[in-house]
Chains A and B, each alone.
Chain A
Amino acid sequence: MLAKRIIPCLDVKDGRVVKGVNFVNLRDAGDPVEVAAAYEKEGADELTFLDITASHEKRDIILDIVARTAEKVFMPLTVGGGVRNLDDIRNLLNAGADKVGINTAAVHNPEFVRNAAEKFGNQCIVVAVDAKRVESTKKPTDYELAWRDKHSDLFLTGNESEPSFEVFTHGGRNPTGIHAVRWAQLMETYGAGEILLTSMDCDGTKSGYDLELNCSISESLSIPLIASGGAGTLDHLFEGIVKGKADAVLAASIFHFKEFTIGETKRYLKSKGIPVRI
């Protein structure tokens, strides 16, 4: 039986693992290669590096980290953050990444996802979606004005009867007006191999994943969904899988600050009937 995946996420800034709340107040959490090797020992199912280094000129730092990690760690490695063009993808794959996460660049130009999937295969294209609950009607974004003809049904109207979620870019700073569920579906048709979904409302709060958001997107997709943002307890991971319908759960702080080991996490999930690899 296919196991549910437990994925520690390492936010990497200027070559160090960092962790903050809602992308601010960053704390140092160690050397990425060492942290990755420790997770390998603990039995993590995959690793994700999210490069939050602001400057594109410092790309070489993450490539070096990926290359050194790939020499030590023999599990799938996803790298996201600042992936803007096909060369960025090729460089990461050549350095030893198995998958790349595309976020802002996908929203800027959805065709980029299609081109990347055709060139490198769907299996290595992870579209990262940062979503936030919609609070009130708002004015149209630039994307809406530019894409009105091509993707008319992709945008939130502000009159949705059910709770709705909006896609944000640039690490959660910029609203797009895009309906998160429809966006994820579009990305699947464009060739995404899986969706990494982060709730901007829950990220860093340790109050649990946004189950409604995860469930509505997972059920609307044929490709796997990775839940992210908000895990603070082992029960949150359990709920993310059972109620959020996630195929994999991603967490950062609960693992980095040694609140729980991967082993403890898996034993807990197994005791609750979740198929995990132990």
Chain B
Amino acid sequence: MIAVIDYGMGNLRSVQKALEVVGADAVVTHDPETILKADSIVLPGVGAFKDCMTNLEKLKLVDPIRKFIDSGKPFLGICLGFQVLFDESEEYGPVAGLGILPGKVVKFPEGISETENGPRMKIPHMGWNQIEVKKKDPLFENFDVAPYFYFVHSYYVVPKDQEVVATVTNYGFEFVSGVQHKNIYAFQFHPEKSQTLGLSLLERFSRLN
């Protein structure tokens, strides 16, 4: 069973539906016991970093998430669920994150262009962009042709430790769009909104163990 953690933010239904479509048994929950008993967990989420941390604390989910990650069972963070793994975010902050991975979350700079004299890049970074896989992993097999995934965010992660970098994406400059460290997988993009490729990523995650 995969526990999709419900902390009152984001479109959990779509994460659950996507997992079900690829044959996984997914429950949406904020019950610590269910979370700790799960085979793997997904921490999704859209919105503001601060609200995410506040809600996780209010629902007493911080410890269960840490314990689960320490147990070595597969963990998947999506979007905010990726960002909160790090030490802190500038968004309405600094706001402290879970600090499970060293690094911070910063805002996209205003007014940058992809080419000289090119149009300014819009913020949020919204839409389909390509990922470049930097790390060999069963999750990314056959993802060798710069596949497109759906992004929507205004802040991005700067990990301290480059070894965790799994995928990068270019938006005027190269930023880290995915990390992998031991049993932790986490992505800035939304596999549950990325059609066939996103579903195949979720399917591969659901089969880890």
Contacts and interface: CB of A to CB of B under 8 A. Distances in A.
B126 A277 contact: no
A20 interface: no
A45 interface: yes
B17 A5 contact: no
A222 B129 contact: no
Query: Chain B at the A interface: mostly helix, strand, loop or mixed?
Result: mixed
Given A74-B198, A75-B195, A277 B122 contact: no
A193 B151 CA distance: 13
B13 A123 contact: no
A248 B126 CA distance: 10
Given A70-B13, A71-B17, A74-B194, A221 B122 contact: yes
A61 interface: no
B128 A2 contact: yes
A87 to B, nearest CB: 16
A2 B170 CA distance: 8
Nearest to A222: B123
B119 A245 contact: yes
Interface residues of A, number: 35
Contacts of B102: none
Nearest to A43: B195
B127 A1 contact: no
Contacts of B127: 2-5, 45, 224, 247-248
A40 B195 contact: yes
Contact of B123 (A1, A45, A223, A225): A223
Contacts of B11: 93, 96-98
Query: Chain A at the B interface: mostly helix, strand, loop or mixed?
Result: loop
Contacts of A224: 122, 124, 126-127
A132 B18 CA distance: 41
Contacts, number: 94
Contacts of A245: 119
Nearest to A225: B122
A203 interface: no
A74 B192 contact: yes
B115 to A, nearest CB: 10
A193 B124 contact: yes
A194 interface: yes
B119 to A, nearest CB: 6
Given A98-B11, A123-B46, A277 B123 contact: no
Given A122-B124, A223-B123, A75 B193 contact: yes
Contacts of B148: 3, 277
A5 B170 CA distance: 17
A224 to B, nearest CB: 5
Interface string A259-278: 00000000000000000010
A96 B110 CA distance: 31
27 contacts: A2-B171, A3-B127, A3-B148, A4-B127, A5-B128, A40-B195, A45-B128, A70-B17, A74-B17, A74-B21, A74-B194, A74-B195, A75-B194, A76-B150, A76-B193, A96-B14, A121-B46, A123-B46, A123-B47, A123-B126, A123-B152, A123-B154, A194-B126, A222-B122, A223-B123, A224-B122, A247-B122
